[in-house]
């Protein structure tokens, strides 16, 4: 395969959108503009963007608790995502969900969940739907190294394999489940090592390299659409920030060294991709800067949109509880 | 006392070729087991000083647990864990402390990184990678005994060493990199997940050796020319070429059209211009090239030494009779 210039530029734009979105979320959370937890995705942008840039709008993704990046990479609305985080009525779930509930079926975003590994069977179910309805969409789930140990994850991979479902399991191994290193909690050295046990291919990919993630996903998509079944992709990446906003008592220094964080920051996914685009002559330095600046403006507009939106009314709390009309079995 | 270096690549044998081909997975547990067996062989020869590349996976744990009281365990200060950079640092450090030899666990790519830094220290390359034309498929216990025999020799070591050739590549007159087995020029315009498996993308291929028993790009060479120990091979692909088939990755047998093939003399410089895409070294895309780059490729005979395990183990057996 070859990477078109458009795809290369699209990747940079989407990574900047996520980065600046998260920087702004951290800023406004600190200022007390919204309450509740939020989990910054900074440092891991290449995983979401690399994967989603290999998908169609009709393909589905499901996320996790650290999931602002996935819907933005898939083409979700920045304004609606920000409004949801603010708990406002113009947000994706009318402000009822918050940071971990950014769903938009129109571009294939099934949603996320704060329950670790709970989206894995959801995405597997979407893969089953694709197969039963004889559609060609694939379903992708993003989960972490911590989630990889959950029963729901193992069961889903097993089912996806025996039924040859078009599912791509993307483990974002950012190396820490909150504060627990994966070396201390995952029995194998790489999550992708588990793939042979489910009789599916498992691939270890540099999760800081958006093009490597894209290429691996494109091949997994090909396999899935061809009816050959699921793939497990492990993107080795790193969370640059703390686990969660609002958990100030768990600080970086307690479970990982600043030296380690700094070393990983030398492999910033945006810097890696920007350098390539400039070397190739795809974009000039100033054009790359323009993309960064445009995304800042875009995020600023989204924040203003969220600020100006209303909070949901208490009487509407149960409005989105059930499908309307409730589908017959 | 002989000093033994150990570089085990925790990521070897885990790339995209598990998806696009049928590459085997060698778990890190198995790599740890290999190290353990290798040490048992060396211990039987009284060799006790080991210098390990550290890694987060704990590949050296069994060695520490099983032989704690029998060997001297030293960890290299590579400052940081994982990635090709760490292998390069570890190899440099082992070179600086003048190790007697280095066990390398990985495929062609891992050995390439080590070879770049080790001057004349001999290697014992044991296969845990995807394409393994350079490393040996041998039981590590045997390799350990043979290595023990070799490092204990007081004289005449040279006859138990094999010197390997390599291919050097310059870009715009700057020494850029080396390949131990194969250097390919691919049309693919990005490095991405590195591996090379699409025959349609191949423009040219340069080989230090080729065997009908090898897997990977080097297998292509044996379909058109027999290996000449003193020469490299050059192959150019093109639509009007001879149709051949070759296993360019595990389980992946591809048809290719070869329009030119020839030997390369040592130090002969082959100049390539006006090609854009990527240069793949030992099966992995590493360098992006553009139409305006001037590429110079040459075959060199003065590459890394490896210990002749078969000759060493035979002599060791004879010396016991």
The CATH number of the domain where B57 resides is what?
3.40.50
Using a CB-CB cut-off of 8 Å, the residues of chain A touching B80 are 260, 263
Chain B residues with CB under 8 Å of a chain A CB are: 10-11, 14-16, 18-20, 25, 27-29, 56-58, 79-80, 82, 187-194, 198, 288, 290
Residue B189: which of A2, A195, A209 has the nearest Cβ?
A2
Total number of domains in chain B: 2
Residue B193: which of A212, A236, A276 has the nearest Cβ?
A212
Residue A193 in contact with partner chain B when CB distance is under 8 A: yes
Same structural domain, B35 and B147: yes
Of the residues A47, A201, A233, the best mutation for testing chain B's interface (the one with the most B CB atoms within 10 Å of its CB) is A201
Domain limits for position B23:
3-164+304-320
Strand positions, DSSP E, chain B: 3-8, 49-52, 72-75, 101-106, 123-127, 161-163, 166-171, 174-179, 182-186, 202-207, 232-249, 252-264, 269-272, 277-281, 284-289, 295-300, 305-307
Q: What is the pLDDT of residue A251?
A: 63
- CA A328 distance to own-chain centroid: 32
Same structural domain, B198 and B126: no
CB count within 10 Å of CB B20 equals 23
Mean per-residue pLDDT for A314-322? 85
User: Distance from A276 to chain B by nearest Cα, in Å?
Assistant: 9
Residue A129 in contact with partner chain B when CB distance is under 8 A: no
DSSP-assigned beta bridge partners for residue B206? B183, B234
Using a CB-CB cut-off of 8 Å, the residues of chain B touching A281 are 290
C-beta of residue A267 within 8 angstroms of C-beta of residue A208:
yes
Same structural domain, B178 and B267: yes
Question: With an 8 Å Cβ cutoff, are B58 and A211 in contact?
Answer: no
Share of chain A above pLDDT 90, in %: 84
| Residue-wise pLDDT tens digits, B44-68 | 999 999 999 987 777 887 778 889 8
Same structural domain, B308 and B296: no
Same structural domain, B212 and B108: no
Residue indicated by tokens 């686990």: A243
Residue A193: which of B15, B27, B193 has the nearest Cβ?
B27
Q: What is the pLDDT of residue B29?
A: 86
| Residue-wise pLDDT tens digits, A62-87 | 999 999 999 999 999 999 999 999 99
Residue A209 in contact with partner chain B when CB distance is under 8 A: yes
Percentages helix, strand, coil for chain B, rounded to the nearest 5? Answer: 25, 35, 40
Question: With an 8 Å Cβ cutoff, are B28 and A196 in contact?
Answer: no
Question: With an 8 Å Cβ cutoff, are B192 and A214 in contact?
Answer: yes
User: B123-127 and B101-106: which strand pairing?
Assistant: parallel
Share of chain A above pLDDT 70, in %: 98
Domain A5-307: homologous superfamily in CATH: Thiamin diphosphate (ThDP)-binding fold, Pyr/PP domains (3.40.50.970)
Question: With an 8 Å Cβ cutoff, are A188 and B190 in contact?
Answer: no
Of the residues B193, B199, B277, the best mutation for testing chain A's interface (the one with the most A CB atoms within 10 Å of its CB) is B193
Q: Is the peptide bond before B3 cis (omega within 30 degrees of 0)?
A: no
Question: With an 8 Å Cβ cutoff, are A223 and B189 in contact?
Answer: no
* Chain A, window 148-187: residues with a beta carbon less than 8 angstroms from a chain B beta carbon: 183
Of the residues B18, B23, B80, the best mutation for testing chain A's interface (the one with the most A CB atoms within 10 Å of its CB) is B18
Domain parsing of chain A, residue ranges: 5-307
Q: What is the pLDDT of residue B1?
A: 83
Confidence of residue A253 (pLDDT cuts 50, 70, 90): low
User: Distance from A178 to chain B by nearest Cα, in Å?
Assistant: 18
Q: What is the pLDDT of residue A77?
A: 97
Q: What is the pLDDT of residue B316?
A: 92
Rounded-to-integer distance, Cα A31 and Cα A288, Å: 30
Of the residues A215, A234, A269, the best mutation for testing chain B's interface (the one with the most B CB atoms within 10 Å of its CB) is A215
Same structural domain, B145 and B15: yes
Same structural domain, B12 and B124: yes
| Residue-wise pLDDT tens digits, A279-316 | 999 999 999 999 999 999 999 999 999 999 999 999 98
Element spanning A129, H or E: helix A119-132
Is residue A247 predicted with pLDDT exceeding 80? no
Q: What is the pLDDT of residue A323?
A: 79
Question: With an 8 Å Cβ cutoff, are A195 and B25 in contact?
Answer: yes
The residues, any chain, with a CB within 8 Å of residue B80's CB and separated by 6 or more, are A260, A263, B86
Q: Could you tell me which chain B residue has the CA closest to the CA of A208?
A: B192
Is residue A250 predicted with pLDDT exceeding 80? no
- CATH number, domain at B245? 2.60.200
Residue A216: which of B16, B79, B198 has the nearest Cβ?
B16
Residue A67 in contact with partner chain B when CB distance is under 8 A: no
- CA A168 distance to own-chain centroid: 13
Using a CB-CB cut-off of 8 Å, the residues of chain B touching A236 are 82
Of the residues B9, B11, B15, B19, the best mutation for testing chain A's interface (the one with the most A CB atoms within 10 Å of its CB) is B19
Residue from B170, B57, B176, B126 nearest A183 by CA = B57
CB count within 10 Å of CB B253 equals 11
Using a CB-CB cut-off of 8 Å, the residues of chain B touching A188 are 27-29
Residue B19: which of A193, A220, A280 has the nearest Cβ?
A220
Rounded-to-integer distance, Cα A261 and Cα A243, Å: 13
Q: Which residues of chain B have pLDDT under 50?
A: none
Q: What is the pLDDT of residue A133?
A: 96
Rounded-to-integer distance, Cα A167 and Cα B172, Å: 45
| Residue-wise pLDDT tens digits, A100-128 | 999 999 999 999 999 999 999 999 999 99
Is residue A187 predicted with pLDDT exceeding 80? yes
Quote the mean pLDDT of chain A. Answer: 94
Same structural domain, B9 and B156: yes
Q: Could you tell me which chain B residue has the CA closest to the CA of A200?
A: B19
Same structural domain, B187 and B138: no
Same structural domain, B123 and B83: yes
Rounded-to-integer distance, Cα A306 and Cα A228, Å: 43
Same structural domain, B46 and B179: no
Q: What is the pLDDT of residue B16?
A: 93
| Position with higher pLDDT, A250 vs B6 | B6
Q: What is the pLDDT of residue A36?
A: 87
Same structural domain, B187 and B289: yes
Q: What is the pLDDT of residue B11?
A: 87
């Amino acid at each position: 395969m070859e990477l078109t210039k458009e795809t290369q530029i699209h990747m940079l734009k989407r990574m900047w959108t996520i980065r600046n979105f998260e920087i702004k979320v951290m800023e406004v959370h600190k200022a007390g503009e919204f309450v509740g937890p939020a989990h910054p995705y900074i440092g891991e942008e290449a995983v979401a963007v690399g994967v989603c840039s290999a998908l169609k709008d009709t393909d589905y993704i499901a996320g996790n608790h650290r999931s602002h990046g996935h819907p933005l990479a898939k083409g979700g609305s920045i304004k609606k995502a920000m409004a949801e985080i603010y708990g406002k009525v113009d947000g994706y779930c009318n402000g009822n969900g918050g940071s971990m509930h950014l769903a938009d079926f129109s571009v294939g975003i099934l949603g996320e969940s704060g329950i670790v590994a709970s989206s894995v069977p959801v995405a597997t179910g979407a893969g089953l739907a694709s197969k039963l309805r004889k559609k060609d969409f694939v379903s992708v789930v993003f989960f972490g190294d911590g989630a990889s140990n959950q029963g729901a994850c193992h069961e889903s991979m097993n089912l996806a394999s025996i039924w040859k479902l078009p599912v791509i399991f993307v483990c974002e191994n950012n190396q820490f489940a909150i504060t627990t290193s994966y070396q201390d909690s995952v029995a194998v050295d790489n999550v992708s090592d588990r793939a042979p046990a489910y009789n599916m291919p498992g691939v270890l990919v540099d999760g800081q390299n958006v093009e490597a993630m894209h290429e691996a996903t494109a091949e997994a998509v090909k396999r899935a659409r061809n009816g050959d079944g699921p793939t497990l992709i492990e993107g080795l990446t790193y969370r640059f920030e703390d686990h969660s906003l609002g958990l100030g008592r768990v600080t970086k220094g307690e479970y990982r060294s600043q030296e380690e964080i700094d070393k990983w920051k030398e492999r910033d996914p945006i810097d890696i991709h920007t350098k390539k685009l400039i070397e190739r002559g795809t974009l000039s330095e100033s054009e790359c800067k323009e993309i960064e600046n445009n995304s800042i403006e875009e995020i600023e507009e989204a924040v203003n949109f969220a600020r100006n939106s209303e909070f949901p009314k208490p009487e509407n709390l149960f409005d989105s509880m059930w499908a309307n009309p409730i589908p017959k079995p | 006392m002989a000093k033994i270096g150990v570089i085990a690549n925790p990521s070897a044998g885990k790339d995209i070729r598990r998806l696009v081909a049928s590459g085997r997975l060698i778990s890190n547990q198995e790599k740890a087991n290999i190290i353990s067996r290798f040490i048992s062989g060396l211990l039987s020869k009284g060799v006790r000083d080991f210098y390990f590349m550290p890694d987060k996976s704990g590949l050296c744990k069994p060695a520490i647990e099983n032989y704690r009281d029998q060997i001297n365990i030293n960890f290299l200060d590579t400052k940081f864990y994982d990635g090709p950079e760490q292998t390069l640092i570890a190899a440099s450090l082992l070179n600086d402390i003048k190790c007697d030899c280095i066990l390398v666990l990985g495929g062609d790519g891992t050995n390439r990184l080590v070879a770049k830094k080790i001057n004349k220290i001999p290697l014992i390359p044991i296969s845990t990678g995807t394409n393994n034309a350079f490393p040996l498929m041998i039981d590590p216990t045997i390799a350990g005994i043979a290595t023990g025999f070799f490092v204990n020799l007081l004289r005449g070591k040279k006859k138990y060493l094999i010197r390997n050739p390599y291919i050097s590549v310059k870009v715009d007159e700057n020494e850029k990199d080396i390949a131990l087995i194969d250097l390919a020029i691919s049309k693919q315009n990005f490095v991405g997940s590195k591996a090379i498996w699409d025959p349609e993308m191949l423009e040219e291929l340069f080989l230090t050796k080729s065997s009908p028993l090898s897997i990977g790009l080097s297998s292509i060479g044996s379909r058109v020319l027999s290996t000449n120990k003193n020469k490299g091979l050059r192959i150019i692909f093109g639509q009007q070429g001879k149709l051949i088939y070759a296993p360019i990755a595990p389980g992946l047998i591809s048809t290719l059209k070869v329009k030119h093939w020839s030997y390369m003399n040592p130090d002969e410089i082959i100049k390539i211009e006006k090609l854009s895409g990527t240069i793949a070294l030992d099966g992995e895309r590493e360098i992006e090239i553009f139409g305006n780059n001037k590429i110079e490729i040459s075959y060199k005979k003065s590459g890394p030494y490896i210990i002749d395990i078969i000759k060493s183990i035979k002599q060791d057996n004879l010396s016991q009779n």
